[in-house]
Homo-oligomer: A and B are copies of this chain.
């Protein structure tokens, strides 16, 4: 079943203790769609500038990603650069040039409107709502946000997520959105805001899925080398929603298997872990579904008791 992903396509400059890339393909929408493409046909709605390279377009199309919604406009593509601390637990942003992304007005191609799965990447909440309203046949919709929207566009954000099935954020965002420091309390408050499913990502410490009457937790996959954590959270999102789309997960019709949601969290964790193994999106050049399923099995082995 097809998934539509909205968000940023960007170029990133990244420096970690393992090396440096001056300019490599990035952006939340890119990572989410690449990750989800291992599970389900994916389409993106995003904007790039005239500098968007044909080899990057090819990487996406080679994964079967539908680029009809990738608008190319005069100007430069969103550029971000940052440097990670030695232990890679912190990063400092060096530069954020929004460029063409500053005026991003998502345009949903007509061919996307009937698709059943939608992931709303981190953009202005009003735009997230506008896209969702154009898709009448959704089975499962949700997305991500960030501190900026939580703090300064709270009403817009609350209006947007009221219509979501799931919200997928990190622990500091969950605390900020709910006003509660304890994650169990934070989760209960967020579930009151609309989404029936909340996924809280904790980076190397794993992830948790909350619903009104259930909780699921998974520790982080322990990599031998974390090469570059950029995009790991977005790859988690892509694995999570991509797997559910593959399974034809149908939350809105009430006929669903809770354990599918749990397995989706594992696939999210798996995809996030692969992302960290090379710079930027580079791991996706060679990653296979077979490797993904093998790591899923490893998760089972490492956590069963």
Interface residues of A (CB under 8 A from B): 86-87, 181-185, 202, 205-206, 208, 215-220, 222-226, 259, 262-263, 265-266, 300, 302-305
Q: Are A182 and B216 in contact (CB under 8 A)?
A: no
Known: A208-B219, A216-B305. 10 other contacts (CB 8 A): A86-B181, A182-B223, A182-B224, A183-B222, A185-B224, A215-B222, A216-B303, A217-B219, A218-B219, A262-B305
The answer on a CB contact under 8 Å between A302 and B184 is no
Residues from chain B with a CB closer than 8 A to the CB of A223 are: 182, 184
**Residue with the highest number of chain B CB atoms closer than 10 Å, among A87, A215, A305:** A305
* Minimum Cβ distance to chain B for residue A277 (Å): 13
- A181 neighbours in B (Cβ, 8 Å): 86-87
Name the CB-closest residue of B to A296.
B305
Measured CB to CB, the closest approach of chain B to A291, in angstroms, equals: 18
- Name A184's contact: one of B219, B224, B259, B263 (CB within 8 Å): B224
Rounded to whole Å, the gap between the CB of A150 and the closest CB of chain B is: 18
* Residues of B close to A219: CB separation below 8 A: 205-206, 208, 217-219
Chain B residues, Cβ within 8 Å of A184: 222-224
Given the complex of chains A and B, what is the CA–CA distance between A265 and B226 in angstroms?
Answer: 26
In the bound complex, do residue B217 and residue A222 qualify as a contact, i.e. CB atoms below 8 Å apart? yes
B208 touching A222, Cβ below 8 Å: yes
Interchain CA distance A183-B202 in the complex, whole Å:
17
Q: Smallest distance from the beta carbon of A66 to chain B beta carbons, Å?
A: 30
In angstroms, how far is the closest chain B Cβ from the Cβ of A219?
Answer: 4
Residues of B within 8 A of A263 (CB): 305
Q: Determine the distance from Cα of A220 to Cα of B300 in the docked complex, in whole angstroms.
A: 17
For the complex, what is the distance from the CA of A225 to the CA of B183, rounded to whole Å? 10
Q: Shortest distance in angstroms between A87's beta carbon and chain B's nearest beta carbon?
A: 6
Contact A205 B205 (CB under 8 A): yes
In the complex, chain B residues whose CB is within 8 Å of the CB of A202: 205
Q: Which residue of B lies closest to A264 (CB)?
A: B305
Name the residue in A87, A206, A226 with the highest tally of chain B Cβ atoms < 10 Å from its Cβ.
Answer: A206
What are 7 contact pairs spanning A and B, CB under 8 A? A182-B223, A182-B224, A182-B226, A184-B224, A205-B206, A217-B222, A303-B303
Contacts of A304 in B (CB 8 A): 262, 304
Contacts of A220 in B (CB 8 A): 217
Smallest CB separation, A256 vs chain B (Å): 15
Q: What residue in chain B is nearest A175 (Cβ atoms)? A: B87
Q: Cα distance A223–B218 when bound, in Å?
A: 16
Q: Find out whether the CB atom of A218 lies under 8 angstroms from the CB atom of B303.
A: yes
